[in-house]
Amino acid sequence: VTDLDRNLLQLPAWEVAPLLLGSLLIRETAGQQLIGRIVETEAYDQNDAASHSYKGRTPRTDVMFGPAGRAYVYFTYGMHYCFNIVTGPEGHGSAVLIRALEPLQGIDMMMQYRSAHGLGLTDGPAKLCQALLIDKGFNGHNLSVPPLILRTASPLPSGEVVRTTRIGISREQEKAWRFYIRGNDYISKP
């Protein structure tokens, strides 16, 4: 995350979400770099009833209200972690959920971390956390610092970005705040 990126991440989550497509997530572990390209995202905002931050700032959602460029990692369904990138100005609770990555480097190691759980390396928000060893310890982590770094890329042509409604939520289902790279093979399959 560079200074330039920080400006980008100040935007509302629903504007940042499509811009993050194509960016790289770099996880350093066991002397190796695990690298994935972001191919699917969803936006969540404090004025959005589907968002954890909707009910206000709590111990759980605190980092969503913090500075942009941090990681918001939450635990759900009794067994899974999901990884978000905090957006917007400090004091505003918003973030972008990373739903899928295209594995680029360190694939063997990702397979090891995933093999005990099932098939599909990084095509789902909880799967990519397993593949990259992301857990609650990364909640609040600054994504400009190892061992977990976000490297943003230049925005994709709008023709390559598909926009749809979000997945796995019961409220605000009409909001089209899910974005993915058209034709990519690693999009999550709900």
Binding footprint of DNA on the chain (CB under 7 A): 42, 44, 50-53, 55, 58-61, 64, 72, 74-80, 82, 84, 95, 97, 114, 117-120, 124-127, 166-171, 188
Shortest distance, position 3 Cβ to DNA, whole Å = 25
Phi and psi torsions of 95, nearest 5°: -165, 165
> What is the closest distance, in whole angstroms, from the C-beta atom of residue 33 to DNA in the complex?
22
CB 62 to DNA: min, Å = 10
CB of 40 to DNA, least distance (A): 11
Nearer to DNA, 130 or 152 (CB): 130
Residue 4: other Cβ atoms inside 10 A: 9
Q: How far is the CB of 170 from DNA (least distance, A)?
A: 4
CB atoms under 10 Å from CB of 5, counted, come to 19
Q: For residue 136, give the 3-state DSSP assignment.
A: helix
Instruction: Give 61 or 152: the residue with its C-beta nearer to DNA.
Output: 61
**CB neighbours of residue 184 within 10 Å:** 16
Of 39 and 82, which has the nearer Cβ to DNA?
82
Reduce the DSSP state of residue 67 to 3 states and report it. Answer: coil
Whether the Cβ atoms of residue 87 and residue 11 lie closer than 8 Å to each other: yes
**Cβ-based nearer residue to DNA, 37 or 114:** 114
CA distances from 11 to 91, 126, 189 (A): 13, 25, 28
